[in-house]
Structure 1
Amino acid sequence: MTTTSDVTTTETFDSLDPATGDVIGTYPIHTAEQVNEAVAKAKVAAEWWSGLTFNERGDRLKAWGGVLTRRIAQLAEVVHAETGKPTSDATLEVALVLDHIAWAAKNAKKVLGRKGVSTGLVMSDHSATLEYLPMGVVGVIGPWNYPVFTPLGSITYALAAGNTVVFKPSEYTPGVGAWLVDAFAQVVPEAPVLQLVTGLGATGEALCRSGVDKIAFTGSPGTGRRVMHACADTLTPVVIEGGGKDALIVDADADVAKAADAAIWGGLANAGQTCVGVERVYVHEQVYDEFVSAVTELASGLRSGADSEAKLGPMTMPSQPGVVRSHIADALARGGRAVVGGLGAVGERFVQPTILVDVPEDSLANTEETFGPTMTVAKVRDMDEAVALTNASKYGLGSTVFAKKNGKAIAHRIRSGMTAVNSVISFAAIPTLPFGGIGDSGFGRIHGADGLREFTYAKAVASRRMPGLMNLMSFSRTAKNDKAVVTLASLLHGKG
């Protein structure tokens, strides 16, 4: 059995080490025909996979998680090679996904399985059941910044729900995708339940048009719109995670040292290439100077590089330093100041940490996703202003609040899909919580019960369980029946 199309292709592309530009792997550019063949195989495999019980599928998923666990160092090295992120960060990425695999395997039956529901008094002569059935074949288009954690948030939950999956990883991380698919084939050798297709944008578009039953995409809002356009012709539903411009709020009573540490890690880890990373910080005027001093000291002690001592790796995508440079330049030209870094921090492959203050709210550094090791810090008079500025963004993915007294209250006022209080990005690591956003950050959810239901359709069944007192769904219904219905409705709802 193969995990990709059996048809050979002559066109290929290279996977490059982003720190050096060296070729580390060569992969096929799968054509639309080959993608269609993979989807056709997945449709056949779906009949077998969906026919297994929840427990049988769960056992396979747990076995897959076991392979990832035992070979975590090997997978982390593949992630490091293709993304450039430090091996320690790559290891953490793999470790965090293991809880999600275990949770989905264990809870799919509870969330999706058939259960009886109330019929109400009017329809009391019926019984009713509700269950969530697999859609069939799910196409997953993954990102390069977290090439294990992010796509598996869709793949794992889709598989647990009974779907088969055709996975198109980013062209920057095809080796990670191949590793994951090969590992799954070890525990599910019977059928091509999880397949790999590789290539550039045209391969992703072909997957959108291939007849899959749903597409799960993670990437930029612009590419997300193109995915939706490609899916529109066949009415293929999509779940879109389109990035963010996440804010961190610091109240006057916050633990400033911990808030600064969280901001630096949330904003600069993975060289800032995190969809739920911290890009904007709003700090109460009473602790602003203390906070700026703390983040300046912390950021000054970090360095991007390819050596083992560097905490930050290179920009994975070659075009990204140019984006970061343009955002820094715009901020500085409009009156902003760099207390750490600046334009000189942006190299050809590496970007050093940059902290910007006094940046106008309508600057690129505050309105567009930078996706680099930078952040803006602004002073606010109170939390009302902090929330208003946070919510002014067209994005609405994640957010963070540091406060001792009103942290949760502030969190519930933020227009975002997820918020962490006195921690950062913690919501992504909790399997019971859904992951996703609103606005330009997309729609739909992965993770948790919502993530399982995202890859299913609801199946409702109403069944007569006793002779009807009155048959309402018939032309034989009498005036007496109508009067009884009105009387019953008045008793039940009239006082409302």
Structure 2
Amino acid sequence: RARAAFRIWGRLDFGERREQMLRVRDLMLDRTDDVVARVCDETGKTPFEALFTELFITADLIDFYARHGDKTLRPQRVNSGPMRLTKRSFKVYEPLGVVAVISPWNYPFSLTMSPVVSALFAGNTVVLKPSEVTPLVGVLVGELFDKGCDYPDVVQVVTGGGGAGSALIGAGVEKVCFTGSVATGKKVMAKAAETLTPVTLELGGKDPMIVLDDADIERAASGAVWGAFSNSGQTCIAIERAYVEAGVYDAFVDKVVAKARAIRQGTSNDDVGSMTFPPQLELVERHLADAVDKGAKVLTGGRRRKDLGDMWFEPTVLVDVDHSMAIMRDETFGPVLPIVKVADEAEALRLANDSPYGLSSSVWTKSDDRGRRVAGQLEAGNVCVNDCLISYGVSGLPFGGAKESGVGRTHGIEGLTDMCRVKAVVEDRFGLKRELQWYPVPPGGYGLLKRVTKLLYRRGAANKLRALLKG
């Protein structure tokens, strides 16, 4: 059905696809409370957090592609180099066909809609396999396209576990978009490699925060608390490590602990909701136990809130941590912030880059020059200066990781062209009887071509003249 739908959808002009996507957005906005409620029911998020991180960000991404997609996907003239006198060259962006989207449970609406929206704007159709932890949000995504789009079957939804995802990858799709853990991402890539199916992988992170000695400590502490504990830390770009220069370390830690203790939990009007997936909460507890056994100190939090329910965990701040601990090496994906005192900027950078992950990062300083210098040395796909996480919310920026944190990009024009086949087209302008390189090779052709090559590519006017005269 998705392939049959592609034969129609893929031939529509961009203006018609844009109109259909805006209609789906209109329906999504009409059903804002339904979307938010579905997300909260399956994840434990607060309504405010669900509205901002799931629906608002999705609405803005659709707006970005509606405004910029047409220009991005138009055929683009390319300089034909030394052949420009007789040739016209273009890049042409064509849809791939059917795109498989395998989406996660931590942001089950926005991290589903991002690849779905990009694929559809580019002219593809989609088969969506939502996480088995949050399947009903995926079903809701399918409903929005069924009811909001005039063209049937452009988004198909299949539910199930890992077996369903593996079967989908092997079903002859033209591309796979996966968001999830590094371990599962490697399995997705291996399965896709059997048919040389291209992949976009948005995988895990162990994102560092660097606080320099000239930072605004009040802002940095507030950012650390939001960046570490938003969505109970179940965010691939959450702050999972903080490296703080010695001169401001004590003040920073004091402020972070005070702000963490002030976070409200327990009702829909509070700051932070519950965790979502029981095995993830158990992993958080294992990481904490390992750290404490090796000498870490818990300054606040560190326990389940059993008075609130099985999935609630306190925002937790740790010190006296080092890279021998799992909590500093492996993705924790929970409401835990370990803080490390460092001697200087160089040590902060060394430790921040001492990780197989490279998704996001942040640096905090009052100096623009210093911030940009440190940002340029962080081994990550995304860097924020004096902010955190928000790079994902800038729809015009490409999003993706370095090292083991992923392959490819979503968002931005790169996220749109990533859903296309880029075709090279060269047109002859004059229809001459022959080309220089065609058979038969002309008498003296080698000498002539040697002169032309040196004339074009030798450096300096004297060298070019010498090439013209002597070959």
Which TM-score band (shorter chain)? over 0.9
Q: Which residue in the other structure is 2:100 paired with?
A: 139
| C-alpha distance in 1 between matches for 2:46 and 2:159 | 25
- Counterpart in the other structure of 1:450: 414
Q: Does 1:427 align with 2:391?
A: yes
Confirm whether residue 155 of structure 1 aligns to residue 116 of structure 2.
yes
Give the corresponding residue for 1:235: 196
Select the residue among 205, 227, 236 that pairs with 1:244.
205
Moved more, 45-54 or 345-354: 345-354
Q: Deviations along 1:142-183, whole A, 9 cap, x unmatched?
A: 001111111222111111110000111111111111112111
Cα distance in structure 2, aligned partners of 1:479 and 1:382? 69
Give the match's secondary structure for 1:282. strand
Task: Tell whether the 8 Å contact from 1:358 to 1:377 is kept in structure 2 after alignment.
Answer: yes
Confirm or deny: 8 A CA contact 2:240 2:337 kept in the other structure: yes
Q: Secondary structure at the match of 1:279?
A: strand
Residue 467 of structure 1: how far off its partner (Å): 4.4
Deviation string, structure 1 residues 423-449 (Cα, Å, up to 9, x no partner):
111211111111110222111110011
Partner deviation per Cα, 1:443-467 (whole Å, 9 max, x = no partner)? 1110011101111111111111024
**Is the 8 Å Cα contact of residues 242 and 441 (structure 1) preserved in structure 2?**
yes
Partner of 1:337: 297
The question of whether the paired residues in 2 share the 8 Å contact of 1:328 and 1:343 is answered with no
Q: Which residue of 2 aligns with 1:381?
A: 343
Whether 1:349 and 2:311 are equivalent positions in the alignment is yes
Instruction: Tell whether the 8 Å contact from 1:471 to 1:477 is kept in structure 2 after alignment.
Output: no
Distance 1:135 1:71 in 2: 31
Aligned residues: 455
Displacement, 1:282? Answer: 0.6
Q: Is 1:91 matched up with 2:55?
A: no
Residues in 2 aligned to 1:473 and 1:176: alpha-carbon distance in whole angstroms? 59
Equivalent of 1:441, from 397, 405, 409? 405
User: Aligned in 2, Cα 1:260/1:490: closer, same or farther, shift over 3 Å?
Assistant: same
* Distance in structure 2 (CA, Å) of the matches to 1:197 and 1:467: 52
Counterpart code for 1:366: M
Alpha-carbon distance in structure 1 between the residues aligned to 2:375 and 2:432: 51
> C-alpha separation between the residues in 1 aligned to 2:444 and 2:433?
12
Q: CA deviation at 1:187?
A: 2.5
Q: Confirm or deny that 1:395 pairs with 2:377.
A: no
Do 1:136 and 1:213's aligned partners in 2 also have CA atoms closer than 8 Å? yes
Q: Deviations 1:234-256 (Å, cap 9, x if unpaired)?
A: 22111111110001111111110
TM-score scaled by structure 1? 0.89
Cα distance in 2 for residues equivalent to 1:492 and 1:430:
43
Q: Which amino acid aligns with 1:354?
A: T
Output the CA distance in 2 between the equivalents of 1:124 and 1:89: 57
Q: Write the deviation string for residues 104-133 of structure 1: whole angstroms up to 9, x where unpaired.
A: 122222112112211012453111111111
Corresponding position: 1:206 with 2:167: yes
Amino acid at match of 1:474: W
What amino acid is aligned across from residue 301 of structure 2 in structure 1? Answer: G
Q: CA deviation at 1:338?
A: 0.7
CA distance in 1, matches of 2:73, 2:162: 34
Find out whether 1:120 has 2:81 as its counterpart: yes
Shift in Å at residue 204 of structure 1?
0.8
Aligned residue identity for 1:284: E
| Deviation larger for 223-232 or 83-92 | 223-232
1:64 equivalent in alignment to 2:24 = yes
| Residues 304 and 311, structure 2, Cα contact 8 Å, conserved in 1 | no
Change (3 A) 1:213 1:314: same
| Alpha-carbon contact 1:125-1:469 (below 8 Å) kept | no
Question: What amino acid sits opposite 2:20 in the alignment?
Answer: R
Contact 1:82–1:173 (Cα < 8 Å) also in 2: yes
Amino acid corresponding to residue 360 of structure 1 in structure 2: D
Whole-angstrom CA distance in 2 between matches of 1:376 and 1:345: 20
Cα distance in structure 2, aligned partners of 1:113 and 1:482: 40
Are 1:289 and 2:250 an aligned pair? Answer: yes
| Residues 285, 469 of structure 1: alpha-carbon distance in 2 compared, 3 angstrom cutoff | farther
CA distance in 2, matches of 1:469, 1:436: 49
Q: Which residue number in structure 2 is paired with residue 472 of structure 1?
A: 436
Residues 47-100 of structure 1: per-residue CA shift (max 9 Å, x gap): 111111011111111121122222212200110000011111111121111110
**% identical aligned pairs:** 38
Q: Which string of whole-angstrom CA distances, capped at 9 and with x for unpartnered residues, describes residues 6-37 of structure 1?
A: xxxxxxxxxxxxxxxxxxxxxxxxxxxxxxxx
Local SS of the residue matching 1:155: helix
Match of 1:188, as an amino acid? Answer: C
- In the alignment, is the contact (CA less than 8 A) between 1:303 and 1:352 conserved in 2? no
Instruction: Look up the match of 1:463.
Output: 427
**Letter aligned with residue 250 of structure 1:** V
**Structure 1 outlier segments of 4+, above 6 Å:** 344-347
| Partner Cα separation in structure 2 for residue 143 and residue 234 of structure 1 | 24
1:371 to 310, 319, 333: 333
* TM-aligned CA distance change 1:392 to 1:177, over 3 Å: same
Aligned residue for 2:91, secondary structure, equals strand
- TM-score when normalising by structure 2: 0.93
Partner Cα distance (2:77, 2:146) in 1: 36
Could you tell me which residue of structure 2 aligns to residue 38 of structure 1? none
CA distance in 1, matches of 2:73, 2:85: 24
Partner Cα separation in structure 2 for residue 187 and residue 315 of structure 1: 32
Among 304, 315, 320, the alignment partner of 1:358 is: 320
Q: Which amino acid aligns with 1:89?
A: E
**1:302-321 → structure 2 map (5 Å cutoff):** 302-305=263-266, 307-321=267-281
RMSD: 1.6
AA paired with 1:308?
A: S
Mean Cα deviation higher: 470-479 or 131-140: 470-479
CA distance in 2, matches of 1:196, 1:280: 37
Q: Is the 8 A contact 2:201 2:408 kept in 1?
A: yes
